[in-house]
């Protein structure tokens, strides 16, 4: 995390600080076979409330690898406790062409569209606990975000959003809220884990080219 933290003065005395916890590849008893058959992975991430000096606590952030030429895998998150800010940034070549801040509360779902990197921020005073479904065929790509010292923006204490100068020109942030899509089981208050009973509703994670309408709605573009 040291390479992506905004407040380097804070970092000097807190190099061993624990910022968040990741629990990967989880399942309830009896669901393991179905999860593997559908090439899925279910994770939980816990981000306690804290600050990193002037910056709000966050994950490192990552991009996804390609599932087909020019298109990366998608991902979906569920906020189980607390409140989350998902910072999404679309990369085309070396340029960032879209930056979105999605605020989600307990029970809400957030889709990470193909070709968007993303960082999760805990803006509140409560622990943020979130789960995700993702295709198990890939590993997160951290390199570009680490090389640029973080995401295109940093969110500071008090909610101020500061551009990362290592990116050069970037778009202004668009603020959006999570989208409800009952047809895919994406509804506030409905357990996302239960979608393993209807795995076809998670097909968009592995085959995003067939679901442009899902990602347009999730990004507030339709």
Q: Return the domain boundaries, the chain.
A: 2-218
Which pLDDT value is given to residue 185? Answer: 92
pLDDT score, position 188: 85
Q: State residue 40's pLDDT score.
A: 98
Query: Can you list the residues of the chain whose pLDDT is less than 70?
Result: none
Gap between the Cα atoms of 131 and 44, Å rounded = 4
| CATH class, range 2-218 | mainly beta
16: left (phi over 0), alpha (psi -120 to 50) or beta: alpha
Prediction pTM value: 0.96
């Amino acid at each position: 995390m040291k390479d992506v933290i905004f407040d380097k003065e804070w970092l000097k005395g807190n190099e061993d600080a624990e910022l968040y916890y990741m629990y990967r590849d989880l399942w309830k008893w009896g669901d393991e076979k179905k999860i593997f058959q559908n090439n899925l992975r279910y994770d939980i991430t816990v981000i306690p409330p804290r600050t990193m000096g002037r910056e709000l606590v966050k994950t490192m952030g990552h991009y996804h690898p390609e599932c087909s030429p020019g298109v990366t895998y998608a991902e979906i998150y569920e906020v189980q406790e607390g409140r989350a800010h998902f910072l999404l940034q679309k990369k085309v070549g070396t340029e960032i062409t879209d930056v979105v801040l999605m605020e989600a509360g307990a029970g809400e779902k957030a889709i990470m569209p193909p070709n968007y990197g993303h960082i999760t921020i805990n803006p509140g005073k409560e622990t943020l606990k979130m789960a995700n479904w993702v295709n198990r065929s890939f590993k997160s790509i951290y390199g570009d975000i680490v090389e640029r010292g973080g995401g295109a923006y940093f969110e500071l204490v008090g909610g101020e959003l500061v551009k990362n100068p290592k990116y050069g020109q970037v778009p202004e942030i668009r603020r959006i809220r999570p989208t409800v899509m009952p047809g895919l089981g994406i509804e506030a208050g409905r357990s996302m884990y239960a979608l393993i009973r209807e795995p076809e509703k998670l097909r968009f994670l592995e085959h995003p080219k067939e679901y442009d309408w899902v990602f347009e709605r999730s990004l507030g573009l339709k």
